[in-house]
Chain A
């Protein structure tokens, strides 16, 4: 069944249709939110907010909007809110300060301790470089790199134009090239 049909069913109170939407998109939304806010615990909270908002405002959804883009837009807004809140309250988690994540990354390809450290270090360098990007560059980058959205879809999720997206990605790449020099050499 198409997303639009599912949403129309949700609007009529069909709980099973809503579950199908969650099932289909939870991975992508959680992934984006986690990368956006920088740690899995917050990412999951934000992702939950996204679906909760989708349900709560289900009657506001218009079939003209692509559901995936609509969800990404909510996810970006919610993630930004979470980051701004955190900055405002200065409630910074220890993991966040250290730049690493509290969940198990799984066994590294190479099990030597120094190789594992290197993987961790790379990851934390990349995370910091991405987090230091201006909000819009970061949003465009995350949607392109990890969610594989087209420029048009990114523009729609961000409420901007395709040429603005092109310029954001160009600048994000330039900035990252400087900040990731130790990782890419």
Chain B
């Protein structure tokens, strides 16, 4: 084993990461080779010089700031309710669609017999839909095509 081989393993030797057989080989070479010993000494000095970089300690505010940041992004109760309600209201709108279709179909049939009362039922059913809500938009679309359907 020559100095070149040893040089390759010296870094891992310092770190205690060599397999036992290789470690022994390096150690016995170092016992006889001045050049490799001085190289090792140099690297050890480099390693010690790195101690000049100081350790950092968390500021006392660290934990509090982290907690605040996590709570800030955690959904509030109202938001969680919203997350639950969005799919629910989407399903409701879909159901509403079927129902309107059903009513409209029934209304066409009813209109032949009771033209005025059918109109009243239709309007009353949706008077509580808030303006600009999904339901409202759906209704306005539905109303827009209504004249076509009843013609």
Q: CB within 8 Å of A: which of B48-82?
A: 49-50, 52-59, 62-63, 65-67, 69-70, 73
Given contacts A31-B56, A105-B54, A150-B17, contact A48 B62 (CB under 8 A): yes
Which B residues are in CB contact (< 8 Å) with A176? 46, 49-50
Contact, CB under 8 Å: B12 / A169: yes
The reply to whether A126 and B50 form a contact with Cβ atoms under 8 Å apart is yes
Chain B, residue nearest A176 (CB): B46
Interface SS of chain B: helix, strand, loop or mixed? helix
Contact (Cβ within 8 A) A30 B11: no
With an 8 A cutoff between CB atoms, is A123 at the interface? yes
Q: Contacts of A125 on B, CB cut-off 8 Å?
A: 52
Stretch in contact with the other chain, from A66-74, A85-93, A177-185: A177-185
B55 touches A31 (CB 8 A): yes
- The interface centre, meaning the residue of B49, B59, B67 with most chain A CB atoms within 10 A of its CB, is B49
Compute how far the CA of A119 lies from the CA of B51 in the bound complex, rounded to whole angstroms. Answer: 11
- Is A130 touching B53 in the complex (CB atoms < 8 A)? yes
Chain B interface extent, by class: 20 to 34
Minimal beta-carbon separation of A57 from chain B (angstroms)? 12
Q: Is the CB of B12 within 8 A of A26?
A: no
Choice from A47, A48, A126 contacting B52 with Cβ under 8 Å: A126
Given contacts A22-B63, A31-B56, A126-B49, is CB(A177)–CB(B43) below 8 Å?
yes
B15 at the A/B interface (Cβ < 8 Å)? yes
Determine the distance from Cα of A34 to Cα of B8 in the docked complex, in whole angstroms: 31
- Which one, B10, B15, B50, B54, contacts A151 given CB within 8 A? B15
Q: CB within 8 A of A43: which of B49, B50, B56, B73?
A: B56
